[in-house]
Every structure is written in C-alpha cells, then in structure tokens.
Structure 1
C-alpha cells in the first residue's frame, strides 16, 4: 500500500512541476501581451496627432471611416471618405499648418478622442478628433476645426 501512495505522490509532484513551468511562461508573456494591446489601441490616435501636426491629409484619410463628420469654419457636413478628403485638402491649402498641441486626450469604451489647438498661418483652431473602434481597428468618425 505504501508503494501505491509513493507512485501517486510522484505523479502529483511531476504534474505540479509541469504546471509551475506553464504558469511561469504565462506570467512572463502576460506583460508583453498587455503592453502590445495597449500600444495597438493608442497607435491610431497618435498617428492622427502626427498627421495634424504636419497637415498630412493622406495620412489622415487612411483612418477615415466610410462616412465622417467634418466641420471647418467654412463647411460642415457628414461626408463620404473621398468628399472629406477634398474638403480637408482645401482647408489645409488655405490654412498652412504650423503646429498641433494636444490639450486633452482619452479613451472611453474602445473609442478614442483628442482635443487640441491647431496653429495655422491664418489663426488658431480648436480641433476635436473622435475615433471609434470597429473590427479591431480605430476609425476617424469626427473631425472639427473651430475658430479661436
């Protein structure tokens, strides 16, 4: 009988060692997974900020949703992706971008937003960016430029 309990004890010890080894691997991978997932969710809004800072329309349009609410002092509407690109090109050609400074940015339920000041050759615009998560990607749904 003692021999039987020794065999069971040996099996449990091997199982615990294997489980401890798997847990160690998981514990090492968990911070990497968390870091990667937080980086992915922040990438889009940061790319938008870089594009605004340089007035890069093509970089902005890459994040446009199928339709986007675009508001400038001259025009305000819900545009298709291609229409919004034309309106934005027109806005940036008339207002050469000098810089963009973030006032506030945040995240709520997978959506990201940013409020900042866009300094241009013609003045300063309070700028609001709203992005929504869909299918694992962030899409720009609203972009507003208001005179200050």
Structure 2
C-alpha cells in the first residue's frame, strides 16, 4: 500500500514538474515574451515584498525590465508542491550576475489550462 502511495505521489510531482517546464525554460532564457504565453489574464508580481497585480501585457513588460537588469545566469526549480486545494506551485533559485533570488511561482486553472498566477522574487 505504501509503495502504491509513493508511486502516485511521484507521478503527481512529476506532472507538476512537467506543467512548470515551459515556464522554467522561458525564465532560463530570460524571455518575457515566452513567459507571458503562460500568464493568466492578471498576474501578481512581487520583488522583495513589493507586490502588485498586473494585466498579462503589463506583467510581460515588468518581467522584460527585470530580465534586462537581472539577466539570468542560471535558474532551476528546486521544489514542487500543491496547496490543499490542488493549486500547484514551485520554488526555484534564480541567479543573475548581480545576485541570487529565491523564486516562488504559483499557477491556477483557467479555462481548462494551468496559467501563471503569481511570481515572487526574494533577494537572498
């Protein structure tokens, strides 16, 4: 029984990782245009606690500005999870030439697809 549970849990985590793969690739490439393809109609962006809600178009420009100032040297998700309601999230480490950030990305379901709802950067 425990083995079945473990296998189901690993499949869930693997599926969550797959959902985040295109988001990870866009962040690694510093591509706000590519990343914006996965935004919901509104996106909450937070930089060191300064939190704001943006339309998908505005969020793309905010991320473009961030990537221009903090170009990614490396990025990877280090943890995937889900809330009790089933909302998937991932925690990652974003490294630029001028510093490292802990990054939190939360998705939500919209029109039958998972879209990015929240991106939170916290300088380490």
Q: Structure 2-normalised TM-score? A: 0.79
* 1:54-88 deviation line (CA, Å, top 9, x unaligned): 21211110011111100124953101111111111
Larger Rg: 1
Pairs aligned (count): 111
1:144 to 110, 113, 120: 120
- 1:134 and 2:110 aligned: yes
Does residue 1:61 correspond to 2:55, yes or no?
no
What TM-score comes out, normalization by structure 1 length? 0.67
Give me the CA root mean square deviation: 2.2
Determine if contact 1:72/1:91 at 8 Å carries over to the other structure: no
> 1:135: how far off?
2.4
Structure 2 unaligned spans of 5+? 1-10
1:104 to 61, 74, 79: 79
Q: By how many angstroms is 1:51 displaced?
A: 1.3
Shift, 1:101, TM fit: 2.3
User: Could you tell me how far apart the structure 1 residues matched to 2:65 and 2:87 are?
Assistant: 28
